[in-house]
Chains A and B, each alone.
Chain A
């Protein structure tokens, strides 16, 4: 009996040893590579012209479900990784203020993979039904997408550093409290209004047309139409909805633009067009404003050098377009 017990204990120790030996510690190789790929674009992203915007001075937090892995470039240009308690114990891509600076926060790539596994196993069949395949898969959100997301969040961190409290002041002025969800405001006040939705659709179609137009004069004519519709929409919006639209289009739209530039660099023109320039389809919620803001930034790129220097919470994308 004693030998049997010793053997039983030995099996347990052996299995515990195997489990410890095969466990992953620290930030995975995949996430390290993703960060390095994002960092390699730093020069290109600095050339965009947003004053002082660089990944080298922005800490990036990868949340693995239990801890944050804080990645940064030190004074000698070396990448350092530090394990810390999570700033936000939730699955989100956002910015957080820690150690006296705004930092980018996003889940690890493995966390995203779990998300897709879960969707693959359950919720994606509806879309799959329409397209004959699964809508969500790892191939739709690759490592380059994750690197581009780093740039998206890093841009938000830059916005928060450069324009501290401006977004909050904007919301306060419109009487929007923390409890008011951006999705709720858009869905209730914009998406439920058929006329507003149709005007939004029209504005997006014109923006796309202007982006694809050949000459600058044609572009300017189309932009004038775009701004006319934007004005018409503004008249119909409540102050809260107008503020929320302004915020989403300018803050999120410009971040989507930065993200798309990063993706284009990493994946090339064709993949970029598929992901960021596919045919517009109106959907409820805030996502469509990201695309609208991005398109406006891309149009500004076509018509003007250095618009990024003038871009600010007070001088938004529509204002810049009207000066073209």
Chain B
């Protein structure tokens, strides 16, 4: 079992002509960690992965693997193995030949390779399927073969480029658990690229959220979700009601924001924004749909909002209520399904309440596009 080799990106820039794909990335990935880059398509996350695997050289800055500078080393000289988005299994090789290709390249004998392939096939629960062609396997099985093929090379770092995106929902959720288990078992560093926040949050020890080449926040999944650093992170990860306005008062860790349409509201200043906001600054406050609830009190206050129901829907684990506040401010509330029906007719007036600690205030910034 490997002790875990870390990966460091130091002031890394990647440019294609005038286009800056990655801007000044500074990332410290600890050995044995499951690290995800999360971002919309085109944000540069795959570019970062290609720079780590050696398929492209950074325009500036360094990639260190296990403390060693990787400059000038090709993909075949780095202790990394990459799992491609489309898996890139070799269609004309049998499953066992696919898995042990890295050994064949090093000149291992067929017996030796066959033995190792059988071990790995056992590990991915595909015993006895070694003589099939990849085209004879199901999507999830191909997935596991690709993982086995990458692990066969005994890399220190496994790089995964959205490998689950082609699978259907059930299988995807199953593979998340499986990937996490494999990572814990082999103990090597996993770097995972995804645009799916669910994948990033469920599997990762740390998540880096990216927007247009810039890393906005690096922390564990809970902080990303509950304590976003920027407006982009708050709007990209999960759903959020956003209230724009200006800071009108700051009281130790919390602030009152004078929103454009909903009046004065109280919230908690994001820990990354602490000390960076002052009275009069443009700011945004985010309240998750599940943080809103129906209030006992009927009057508005700095943690209560009055809104009219537009429509409501049943989604299984929750009831979603879509509402319109003053001046047409749209809001969404998610009420947990506890057995009783919680559908509201249109035009019913509700008073919504929230805990100020669950409303996060960050400096105004660009939102993730819908």
Q: Do A and B bind each other?
A: no
Taking Cβ atoms with an 8 Å cutoff, the residues of A that contact B are none
B interface residues with partner A (beta carbon < 8 Å): none
